[in-house]
Amino acid sequence: MRRCDFVPPLRIKRDMGTLRMLAAHALLGLAVTQSPAQAPAWHLPECGAAEYRRQCSAHSDVAETASAAQALQPRGAVPDDYLPRLWPAPILCQGELDRDQQAPCTPARDLRDLVRAIALDIGARGAGTWRFPRVPPFGDLVVTGRVGAVAADGTQEFDLTLDRRAPAALPGDDQKARGEIAQLCARELTGQLRIRRAIDSKAGVVREFTAELAVVVAEDKRHHRRIVVNDAWQLVAVHQNQDADFRTRVGAAVRAGAAWIRAAIEGLDATFLEDREGEHSFGSGRVALAVLTLLQAEVPPDDAVLQRAFAVLRKRKFVDTYAAATALMAMAQRYAPPREAELVRSGAQKTRKQRELPPADRALADKWLQRLLQNRDTRVDPDKTLRFDYDGGARYDNSLTQYGLLGLDAAALCGLEVAPQLWLAAADHFLAVQGPAHGRSLELDLLTHQELALAAGGPLPHHPQRTPVRGFSYQGPDEPAYGSLTAASTAGLVVARAGALQAGTATPAQLRALDDAIDAGFAWLAAEFTMRSNPGFVGRAHQHWYYWLYSLERACEFAGIARINGRDWYYEGALQLLAQQQKNGSFRADRGDTLLLESTCFAVLFLKKSTLAVLTGR
């Protein structure tokens, strides 16, 4: 079975001697499981999934004392700090299981996902303890209690208690990160968890479970909040990887999402599409993002709404990097040749073809490019270190720099002149801000789309290579790394390398350094991989989830990567997204300040696999 690269929640059993041994293992970051003779395993297809139907509810209320809170029957809403807006999907992917295929081993960043991890631990028996590191805003949650024997009809009951601990150190931490994590994970919590489930040991599945999680959170001396979560799952089907049902649902989700986006911008008079004073040109950027998404969703360029949207873009004054770069990407997609994605992914066409723009649109795209180039960090020589600010100034961030590179890549695709030294200058920036490994490394095994296609259902090639684990943060290497920026910056490195290779400006030593940095970025993604939250630093766990998925899509598709250490990133991410689509076609926002337009565009771009591989020469 494939090894899980996460430190999973520990399942600890029986006598005190065993407990002491397991505690020692925990300090080493090792997973502990029962032997196959003691417990059944899940029987899921490789990179497949078990899909469930779910009924769930969550309520909370506040009392002055913990004892008074314990007696409450809450009816109020639960603040987002405790239960983020997006309910994790009722799915178990084979890639989420531990090496013995007995229990989920992905990190729980949500009380509801903690319930899922325990309820789907198919081998749980007797006295046990699970430890879930860094569940915000609490810390390390420890769940202990009694797991009943499996009855003749497969039913089983859990009677468990919850407590918190201060966040323990994990591999890759430094002192600054530990201090920030301690502040973010400091809220006291106690509670109970009761689960009743039915398992089919022969089939290797949990058929259903019902769970009630009741906790009391100490918000301050006179505010104690009782939270009650009820969750019920019933097995619908076990799916093969990317089966016909999945493909049908993805196609329907893309069409529904595109229809919602088209309707949302149809009049082009919504206030969020306007450029407001003090907001750069974010409204125009949203128009460009919607246009890019509709084109990627195969809405014809001559569609009436797209025609009007392009007419608006021609009149807008772009200022910020996001807007100018996205407009250039939309322009490149508008003139993409028919069936380009299909031809590139099948191998019939090596890479993207240069666009042929009419003179007016070529001049417009060049105007956008020149605006984009004005947005560089003014403190450094852009011919040596290229990094981007919102609209040019003494700052940068890695998200803007990645978008700047996406804009340069689209401009070059449109046949515009991009100074050849800029690719290595951008690469030098990302090399300088990639975080340290802190002694972490793993066996990185990347499977390309081409390798997957050539295998044609047979044995897959494996070429693991010991690789340092190095991520990216919002700005500097001394900040804790997290998923969306690690994926975005790794994508930036791939694009910069391709640009330098095509321009002929990179030496073999420079290309090797870029290869090492790209591999280290993918190693971080492998080590922290989850689609249930923005991975890595817990302070970002429930922020920019859709951006995380879209950033991962860009990194993997630019590099032609189908699987990361055995995980089908696209399948697992798409399953999570499908659970978030609403009846009207839009995708639920992950935060109160996230527009449905942005979350829906990022979701559709991911589901459509909108990015095409660049020539890397690797």
Q: Average pLDDT in the 496-513 region? A: 96
Long-range contacts of 543-547 (CB under 8 A, 24+ apart): 543/590, 543/591, 544/484, 544/590, 545/86, 545/590, 546/587, 546/590, 546/594, 546/598, 546/599, 546/602, 546/603, 546/606, 547/484, 547/488, 547/602
Q: What is the pLDDT of residue 618?
A: 64
> 167-181 burial, b if ≥16 CB within 10 A, otherwise e?
bbeeebbeeebbeeb
328, two tokens? 């250039």
The DSSP line for 164-199 is EEPPPP-TT--HHHHHHHHHHS--EEEEEEEEEEEE
Q: Average pLDDT in the 588-603 region? A: 92
pLDDT in tens, 261-291: 999 999 998 999 999 877 789 999 999 999 9
Report which secondary-structure segment, H or E, holds 229: strand 223-239
Q: Is 597 left (phi over 0), alpha (psi -120 to 50) or beta?
A: alpha
Q: What is the pLDDT of residue 617?
A: 63
Q: Average pLDDT in the 67-89 region? A: 94
pLDDT category of residue 344 using cuts at 50, 70 and 90: confident
Q: Which residues contact 524 (CB under 8 A, 6 or more apart)?
A: 469, 470, 471, 481, 486, 536
pLDDT tops 90 at residue 4: no
Of the given ranges (82-86, 169-173, 379-383, 537-541), which has the lowest mean pLDDT?
A: 169-173
Q: What is the pLDDT of residue 25?
A: 34
Nearest to 313 by CA among 262, 280, 268, 272: 268
Share of the chain above pLDDT 90, in %: 84
pLDDT category of residue 38 using cuts at 50, 70 and 90: low
pLDDT in tens, 283-338: 999 999 999 999 999 999 999 999 999 999 999 999 999 999 999 999 999 999 99
The mean pLDDT of the chain is: 91
Q: What is the pLDDT of residue 122?
A: 96
SS3 85: coil
Q: What is the pLDDT of residue 267?
A: 92
The separation between the first and the last C-alpha atoms of the chain, rounded to the nearest angstrom, is: 29
Q: Is 508 left (phi over 0), alpha (psi -120 to 50) or beta?
A: alpha
CATH of 244-607 among 3.30.460, 1.20.120, 1.10.3470, 1.50.10: 1.50.10
pLDDT category of residue 5 using cuts at 50, 70 and 90: very low
pLDDT tops 90 at residue 500: yes
pLDDT tops 50 at residue 205: yes
Nearest to 440 by CA among 142, 171, 58: 171
State how far Cα 267 lies from the chain centre: 32
109, two tokens? 């960043």
Q: What is the pLDDT of residue 172?
A: 79
Q: What is the pLDDT of residue 345?
A: 84
Q: What is the pLDDT of residue 173?
A: 82
pLDDT tops 90 at residue 17: no
State how far Cα 36 lies from the chain centre: 32
> What pTM value is reported for the model?
0.93
pLDDT tops 50 at residue 221: yes
Judge whether 408 and 422 are in contact, CB under 8 Å. yes
Q: What is the pLDDT of residue 347?
A: 80
Q: Average pLDDT in the 475-485 region? A: 95
Residue, of 93 and 174, whose pLDDT is higher: 93
Report which secondary-structure segment, H or E, holds 447: strand 446-448
Q: What is the pLDDT of residue 278?
A: 75
State how far Cα 385 lies from the chain centre: 28
Judge whether 7 and 440 are in contact, CB under 8 Å. no
Q: Average pLDDT in the 133-138 region? A: 95
> 585-606 burial, b if ≥16 CB within 10 A, otherwise e?
bbbbbbeeebebbbbbbbbbbb
pLDDT category of residue 390 using cuts at 50, 70 and 90: very high
**Dihedrals phi, psi of 126, to nearest 5 degrees:** 65, -155
Parse the chain into domains and list their residue ranges.
12-239, 244-607
Q: What is the pLDDT of residue 170?
A: 87
pLDDT category of residue 362 using cuts at 50, 70 and 90: very high
pLDDT tops 80 at residue 394: yes
Of the given ranges (38-47, 66-75, 482-491), which has the lowest mean pLDDT?
A: 38-47
Q: What is the pLDDT of residue 23?
A: 34
pLDDT category of residue 50 using cuts at 50, 70 and 90: very high
Strands 561-564 and 155-165: unpaired
SS3 158: strand
pLDDT in tens, 206-220: 999 999 999 999 999
Q: What is the pLDDT of residue 380?
A: 95
Share of the chain above pLDDT 70, in %: 93
